[in-house]
Amino acid sequence: MRKDLIAGNWKMNATHLDAIQMVQKLSYRLNDSDFDRVEVVVCPPYTALRSAQTVIETDHLRIKLGAQNCHYADSGAFTGAISPGMLAKLSVRYVIVGHSERRHVFGETDADINRKVKAVYEAGMIPIFAVGELEAERDAGRTEERVRSQFAAGTSGLTQEQVNSLVVAYEPVWAIGTGNTATPDDAGAVCTFIRELAADSYGDAADHMRILYGGSVNPGNVAAIMAKADIDGALVGGASLDPDTFASVVRYWV
């Protein structure tokens, strides 16, 4: 039985002071039974992780902490970079790897992303590994081809045990931050395709692996997306910045 996971990707928003308020407000809007049903993750920018961690630990909140990126090395001469070990030490549980903005704005390659996925596991955390096609690829009917190659490259060399806990986020690039969501049917079909790909390479682990949909998820469309059999949660950008709105996404059945 896969537990739903809803993660808020704050991107480059929120100071550490904002983060304290956002985590407190979110916790106020959610109750224990929500956390029994959904794993709730927030992914603040690096500079706000420590503050968010402190609120979560001091108040014994069930919100979990994620990061938006990391380097693949443990330490070294990588000016401006943050290592997986540094994140793990802040009680970070999840790290988004291969987000489309990292791929397309910062030029990360499939090879970089594969190294990061492995490094996140080595540091004892779980990757939220993002894949998704560009609009032109979708229009050319190449969505499955693109997702297949990103999935294969990003997960190359993983063990079955790692894939058991893996979280994949299917985020069509044309749906991110645009207000254009994939239809629930289309999103569900690609997520089923991703589970089949995982089953081909990793057998039963594919049944445990969670698959999120991301791209303009909001309180109005989340329930229809979550109704799809192979969608186990959502990766939420814009709608995660307001705690009331994000709480409504988390409580998608209400």
Q: Would you please indicate which residues are annotated as catalytic (active-site) residues? A: 99, 171
Helices (H), the chain: 16-29, 32-37, 46-58, 84-89, 100-104, 110-122, 135-139, 143-155, 160-165, 184-202, 205-208, 222-226, 243-250
- Least gap, CB of 102 to ligand PGA (angstroms): 10
Contact 102, 92 (CB under 8 A): no
Q: Is 237 in the site for ligand PGA (CB under 6 A)?
A: yes
Instruction: Choose which of 44, 127, 214, 233 interacts with ligand PGA (CB under 6 A).
Output: 214
Number of residues that bind ligand PGA (CB under 6 A): 13
CA distance 221 to 238: 14
Q: Is 45 in the site for ligand PGA (CB under 6 A)?
A: no
Q: Is 68 in the site for ligand PGA (CB under 6 A)?
A: no
Find the part of the chain contacting ligand PGA (CB under 6 A) among 14-22, 194-202, 221-229, 237-245: 237-245
Q: Is 212 in the site for ligand PGA (CB under 6 A)?
A: no
Tell me which amino acid residue 173 is.
V
- Least gap, CB of 186 to ligand PGA (angstroms): 15
DSSP for 14-50, please give it.
--HHHHHHHHHHHHHH--HHHHHHEEEEEE--HHHHH
- Least gap, CB of 214 to ligand PGA (angstroms): 4
Q: Which residue has the tokens 């645009």?
A: 178
Residues binding ligand PGA (CB under 6 A): 9, 171, 176-177, 214-217, 235-239
